[in-house]
Amino acid sequence: MLQSKLPKVGTTIFTVMSKMAQDYDAINLSQGFPDFDCPQRLRELVSEHLNGRKNQYPPMAGIPELRQQIATKVKHYYACDADPETEITVTSGATEALFDAVQAVVAAGDEVIVFDPAYDSYEPAVQIAGGHTIHVPLSLPDYGMDWDRLAQAINSHTRLIIINSPHNPCGSVLTNADLDALATLIRGKNILILSDEVYEHMVYDGLQHSSVLAHAELREKSFAVFSFGKTYHATGWKLAYCVAPKELSEEFRKIHQFVTFTTSSFVQYAIADFMAECPQHTLELSSFYQEKRNTFCEMIKSSRLKFTPSKGTYFQLVDYSEISDKTDVEFVNYITQEKGVAAIPLAPFYETPPATKVVRFCFCKDDGTLQKAADILCSL
């Protein structure tokens, strides 16, 4: 009889809700994929390299041209000197990078701290490594860090702490002061950080993204994970990277080479060229998405949903307690199936879901789609 290694894991809520949206012909504001295509120049470069015979195995850690561009980028944004030879690894999506980092450093019996609501790929990766996940809830109502609870959760078994900023699903962001507090808590301990920063270029209202790469002390203890899928509206390409000190990258690559070995060649060449040619794309992304967030928030202003505009990511949390007593899972099922708009509930991202009535909408959609969804939400 087969014994499941992940007995509690079902199909991810993103796939479940996207399928429900399709089955019920609902507007899909659930799963986070943009309506807009990636930049035209980038698409041209992809076909140039595809037709230019860049179709064989690229190097295991990623093509040197792309790693060099990543090094230039992290220097520019985070004043971080990362050696492209030894500290930067290109992966098949951030999902792979997160998985590799966990497998590289977590052993049987180790504890890994995650903050609930936590992105749903973290815990299964820890379980496969034989570790235990310790869930520390973010504090309500603003989904900030609860430093006392984190301090209580740390012990001699703690091996890794997984942070995520800008945060999916909450849209909250960590500040430099947060990173300082984290560094203080783990100082002198054998604890590493896995920092999921896939929404690094979506931060609003004049805030800056605080990366572990810009924090001298955390940089030495961290795997920092980024995704080209988010940045270039190309989630289907599954291209991402991890920046980590040499010693950590060495272990990371041991896993990476036997999970995927490498990732598609022509897309790597295209992104390397595009990063060199069009650095303004990343500079403009926050204002592009801030506009989208503002548009969506304005559209649902007259609804009975309560919300604080998201500080980052392309997600907006809303409180529906004035509309319904249903649980969040019941509520998203109801609005998807009976009202025609799909959202994501928060319960699946918690070990112990709170009694809050909050769901997540994704606003990386055309204005027309957002308007149709908002009209429905305003009628609830």
Ligand X SMILES: Cc1ncc(COP(=O)(O)O)c(C=O)c1O
Q: State which of residues 84, 93, 117, 312 lies at the interface with ligand X (CB under 6 A).
A: 93
- Comparing CB distances to ligand X, the nearer of 103 and 168 is 168
169 close to 199: Cβ distance less than 8 angstroms: no
Least Å from the CB of residue 325 to ligand X: 29
119: contact with ligand X by CB under 6 A: yes
Q: State which of residues 13, 18, 21, 32 lies at the interface with ligand X (CB under 6 A).
A: 32
Q: Write out the H or E segment, with its range, that includes residue 252.
A: helix 246-259
d(CA 127, CA 46): 37
Backbone angles phi, psi at 196, to 5 degrees: -90, 105
Q: List alpha helices for 187-245, DSSP H.
A: 216-219, 228-231
259 close to 289: Cβ distance less than 8 angstroms: no
Q: Site size for ligand X, by CB under 6 A?
A: 14
d(CA 357, CA 229): 30
Angle between helices 367-378 and 280-299 (to 10 degrees): 30
Stretch that binds ligand X, among 52-60, 89-97, 184-192, 210-218 (CB under 6 A): 89-97
CA distances to 104, 297, 363 from 101, rounded to whole Å, are 5, 36, 30
Phi-psi bin for 326: left (phi > 0), alpha (psi -120 to 50), beta? beta
Least Å from the CB of residue 75 to ligand X: 22
Least Å from the CB of residue 224 to ligand X: 12
168: contact with ligand X by CB under 6 A: yes
For the segment 212-271, give every residue that binds ligand X (CB under 6 A): 227, 229, 235, 238, 240
Least Å from the CB of residue 124 to ligand X: 13
195: contact with ligand X by CB under 6 A: no
The single-letter DSSP state of residue 193 is E
Residue nearest to ligand X (CB): 93
158: contact with ligand X by CB under 6 A: no
Tokens 């940045």 correspond to what residue? 231
Q: State which of residues 114, 153, 170, 198 lies at the interface with ligand X (CB under 6 A).
A: 198
- Comparing CB distances to ligand X, the nearer of 227 and 249 is 227
Which stretches of the chain bind ligand X, using CB under 6 A? 32, 93-95, 119, 164, 168, 196, 198, 227, 229, 235, 238, 240
